[in-house]
Amino acid sequence: MLSYRELHEAGMKRIREVDAEHLMDLGAETGAQNRMNREYMESIAFEMRFMGSNYADTKTSFFGHEVSHPIQHAAMSAGRLLNKISTYWEEPYIEDMAAGLMEAGSWFWAGALGNQEMQRIINMGVPTVRIVKPMSNPGWDENEDIIRALKDAEQRGCVAVGMDVDVFFGEKTHDEPPFRYSLGPKTMEEMRRFVEATSLPFIVKGVLSKQDAVKSKEIGAQGIVVSHHGGECIDYALPILRVLPHIRRAVPDMTIFAEGGIQRGTDILKALALGADGVCMLTILTIAYAGHGRRGVTDMVRVLADELMRNMSICGCQTIEDIEPSILWMPYPDRNRGE
């Protein structure tokens, strides 16, 4: 298995070769939200609990499906970054990425991909989550298309579906005009219709407030992703770990994924301690993919799962259920752990 450093260095080398480094950190306007997100994550420290501890078990389950660890892929479409690095590999990169994830025990989260691409992934046996965009075009009943896409995902064999509500008002990359073509806000009633269109678990992606978490539950969603879409929503968005414990308390029985800036096993453990059931990540997997293709993705997930296992053991958490906020400390006096 390649090490984290080997995976990271090879990936960044390749990304620089194809002149794609500027596509790695896509915050809106100043990008403060991604900086604040990492700064907050890095300001949290662990206490150690060795006495009586043993090697941890990272297995858990999502919506009734057992998984060997809580590390998930974040919703992905093609896009500028992947198009730049993909030509390096002979096989279609979406399939390659999905195969690498399956090998390591993670699901594939399909964003704005074509149905045929998604079907090829499902046929490979990769558990797939379909995240549909809030499409909106004047003069066209996009809601019927959304409902068709949700039903289609169910028929094709997806394990869950959802919508990235954090792009209701478009995605914004630095000072580029916001990408809002075909996207638009949906009412609570429309959201409820989407949830009711499928018997699969519905996940609301892009929740960063107690209000949205509670409203997601009200419409019948089973899961949420605490995320700000890699920073492409509002500048100065709250760090995900800052808001996560408040969201967990507001919706104690929902499945919560946390995503955004997660790069190491310690980041994952912090998210789990603050209320997440699982984490999603894309940037770090894209780096691994850029350097070593399918194998890079598999190795990166395995490296992170090993890091999580060891860190859990050191903090006296033998199972995922044992992980709780008191293993964390905020070394700075004006901050506290999730209160």
- Residues forming the site for ligand FMN (CB under 6 A): 74-77, 79, 81-82, 111-112, 131, 164, 205, 227, 229-230, 259-262, 281-283
Length of the chain: 339
Q: Which is nearer to ligand FMN, 49 or 156 (CB)?
A: 156
Structural tokens at position 11: 């990936």
Neighbours of 92 (CB within 10 A): 13
Q: Which is nearer to ligand FMN, 99 or 208 (CB)?
A: 208
| Shortest distance in whole angstroms from residue 23 CB to ligand FMN | 8
The answer to whether the Cα torsion of 71, 76, 80, 83 is positive or negative is: positive
| Shortest distance in whole angstroms from residue 260 CB to ligand FMN | 5
Structural tokens at position 319: 């199972």
Reduced to 3 DSSP states, what percent helix, strand and coil does the chain have, rounded to the nearest 5? 45, 15, 40
Neighbours of 289 (CB within 10 A): 28
SS3 assignment, position 258:
strand
User: Which residue in the list 69, 73, 228, 229 is annotated as catalytic?
Assistant: 229
| Shortest distance in whole angstroms from residue 186 CB to ligand FMN | 15
The answer to whether 229 is a known catalytic residue is yes
According to DSSP H, which parts of the chain are helical?
Answer: 4-17, 32-42, 80-86, 93-103, 115-123, 142-156, 188-196, 210-218, 240-250, 265-273, 283-314
Residues facing residue 75 across a β-bridge:
none
| Shortest distance in whole angstroms from residue 77 CB to ligand FMN | 3
Please give the distance of CA 28 from its chain centroid, rounded to a whole number.
18
Tokens 């096993």 sit on residue: 265
Q: Which is nearer to ligand FMN, 114 or 157 (CB)?
A: 114
Q: Which is nearer to ligand FMN, 131 or 323 (CB)?
A: 131
The candidate with the shortest Cα–Cα distance to 57, out of 325, 258, 278, 310, is: 310
Q: Which residue is nearest to ligand FMN (CB)?
A: 111
Residue 235's contacts (CB-CB under 8 Å, 6 or more residues apart) are 27, 28, 29, 30, 31, 32, 33
| Shortest distance in whole angstroms from residue 241 CB to ligand FMN | 13
Q: Which is nearer to ligand FMN, 227 or 317 (CB)?
A: 227
Q: Which residues are catalytic?
A: 229
